[in-house]
């Protein structure tokens, strides 16, 4: 889960590495149901505005020493529960922006099994309101070259979520480890936003529009 978390901390992935649902037609009750999920989430994670509480409860920061737009604090128990059921009060990850010497809570991330189809995802969060995404065709570097996941200078990386390698054969030739899919479906939620498009959007544009209601 940690590697997948890190992917969403930078720019959106090239589409060779990203599969997304499309916004479907709205059905009666979709907006109300999505708003209820966001309301439940907002109340449940309010206490995590103090990021120390999240750490005390077992949330783990992905790569805290690597500069990121959004840091993922992940709960392994919540990630495991998400395989079998959906609880809007138990997100897989909490999303934070780094501010000064600490972190500011901006939202959360839910996950779902990669075997899920549109109907399954819609049962969790209406597809007319949210676009789920899944990471795919990933070539991870050899275990002794994990820093190769991150750009060095002007050269684009070969490996990882921003990498140029997107096929099994090319990955093997580079000595990497290929994954057709990684860790299932994900969706970000910014429950303090008032515009539904931003509630169910990603956090990739936060540098342009500022923190979400904090």
**Cβ atoms < 10 Å from Cβ of 4:** 23
pLDDT digits (tens, 9 = 90+) for 9-64: 434 445 676 778 888 888 999 999 999 999 999 999 999 999 999 999 999 998 78
- Report the pLDDT value the prediction gives residue 152, as an integer from 0 to 100: 59
- One-character DSSP codes across the chain: -HHHHHHTTSSPPPGGGEEE-------TTHHHHHHHHHHHHHHHHGGGGSHHHHHHTT-EESSTTS--SSEEEE-HHHHHHTTT---TTS-SEEEEEEETTEEEEEEEEEEE-TT--HHHHHHHS-TTT---EEEEEEEEPPGGGGGGGS-BTTBPPSSSTT-S--SHHHHHHTT-EEEEEEEEEEEEE-TT-SSHHHHTS-STTHHHH-SS--
Q: Which residues of the chain have pLDDT under 50?
A: 1-13, 204-214
What is the predicted pLDDT for the residue at 128? 94
Instruction: Read off φ and ψ for residue 140, nearest 5 degrees.
Output: -90, 145
Q: Supply the pLDDT for residue 191.
A: 96
- Say what the pTM is: 0.77
Distance CA 127, CA 124 (A): 9
What is the structure's pLDDT at 207? 35
- Distances 11 to 42, 70, 98, 162, 183 between C-alpha atoms, Å: 25, 10, 16, 8, 19
């Amino acid at each position: 889960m940690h590697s997948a978390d890190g992917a969403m901390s930078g720019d959106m992935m090239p589409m060779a590495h990203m599969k997304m649902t499309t916004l479907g037609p709205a059905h009666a009750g979709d907006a109300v149901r999505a708003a209820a999920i966001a309301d439940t989430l907002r109340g449940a994670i309010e206490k995590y505005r103090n990021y120390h509480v999240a750490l005390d409860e077992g949330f783990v920061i992905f790569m805290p020493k690597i500069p990121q737009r959004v840091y993922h604090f992940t709960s392994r128990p919540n990630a495991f529960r998400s395989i079998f059921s959906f609880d809007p009060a138990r997100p897989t990850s909490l999303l934070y922006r780094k501010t000064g010497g600490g972190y500011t809570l901006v939202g959360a991330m839910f996950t779902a099994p990669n075997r899920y189809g549109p109907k399954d995802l819609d049962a969790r969060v209406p597809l007319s309101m949210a676009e789920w995404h899944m990471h795919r065709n990933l070539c991870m570097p050899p275990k002794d070259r994990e820093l190769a996941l991150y750009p060095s200078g002007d050269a684009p990386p070969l490996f990882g979520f921003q990498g140029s390698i997107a096929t099994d054969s090319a990955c093997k030739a580079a000595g990497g480890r290929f994954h057709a899919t990684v860790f299932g479906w994900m969706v970000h939620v910014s429950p303090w936003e008032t515009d539904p498009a931003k509630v169910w959007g990603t956090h990739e544009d936060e540098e342009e529009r500022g923190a979400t209601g904090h």
